[in-house]
Amino acid sequence: MNRNDRREFLQKMAAASGVVLFPLWTAGCPAETPKGPTTGPIKSGASMPVPKAKPGDWNAIEFNKKRGNSGAIPKEYLSAINAGGGEMAIGKHLPYIPQENAPDGHVVIAFGKRSAGYPQHPASSDHWFDWIHVAKSGSDKGMMSKFPAWPGTEEQRKQLYVVAGGYDISDIGMEKGKLTVYLAKLPDDVKGGDILRITGHCTKHGEYVNFDEYVY
C-alpha cells in the first residue's frame, strides 16, 4: 500500500475514531488518564504548569526535567532523568511531529526523535502513551486523544495508529514497537505553519511536553 492509498484509507477509518474535543484539562496524577475537561492551564500531578505559548528560550530537556521533579514523572523514574545522561531518558519521551501522512483533522505524533539524537520510544502492551493532548501554542483550547491499548484490537489499530516508513498497520510490532506513530486529533483553530503544544502520557514514566511545527 503506497502512502496516498494509506492516507485515503486512514481518512475513512478516522471518522469512526470517537476522539473528543476538550478544553484544557486537569488530571489527578501522572499515573491516571484524565477523566474529563476543566478550564485553565494544563495541570497533572505536577506543581509546575505547562506554558500556554512556546517560550523564546524553550529547552524541552530542562523543562521536562524540572516538571518531572515537580510531580509529572513518577518517583521511580526520577533517578533516570536526574542521573548523568538523563537527557536520553527524557528525550525518548519527547513528542514530535514526524513526516508521515495523517487523515484530515489529525496530526501524527511520535516519541523520541532519532534525528535529534534521542532513542525512539518502544511500545508494548504495558508500556505505551495512553493519551496525547494537542493545542495551538498560545491557545486556551486543545484536543485530547486517548489510546486505551497497544497494539489493541485490529479495529483500534486502524483508527489510532500508523507505522512509520509506510509499513502496513499489521507491522506495528516491528522493532519493539518503536515505529508506532499515534493519530491525534487536531483542534479546529490549527493551520499549517502553526506551532503545536503537545503533551503525552507514558503509562510507566509520566507526562512529557514539547512544541513542534505543524507543517501540513
C-alpha span between 128 and 10 (Å, rounded): 21
Using alpha carbons only, give the angle 79, 131, 116 rounded to the nearest 5 degrees: 60
193: CATH: 2.60.40.730
> Mean per-residue pLDDT for 82-92?
95
Query: Which of 124, 120, 129, 121 is CA-nearest to residue 198?
Result: 129
- Tens digits of residue pLDDT in 138-180: 998 899 999 999 999 999 999 999 999 999 999 999 999 999 9
Query: Which of 59, 206, 209, 66 is CA-nearest to residue 133?
Result: 209
Q: What is the CA radius of gyration of the chain?
A: 16
Tell me the whole-structure pTM to 2 decimals: 0.81
pLDDT surpassing 70 at residue 15: no
Domain total for the chain?
Answer: 1
pLDDT surpassing 80 at residue 8: no
pLDDT of 141: 87
Q: Could you tell me what percent of the chain has a pLDDT over 90?
A: 74
pLDDT of 195: 97
Domain that holds residue 110: 3-213
Mean pLDDT lowest among 20-29, 36-45, 48-57: 20-29
pLDDT surpassing 70 at residue 125: yes
Mean of per-residue pLDDT scores for the chain: 84
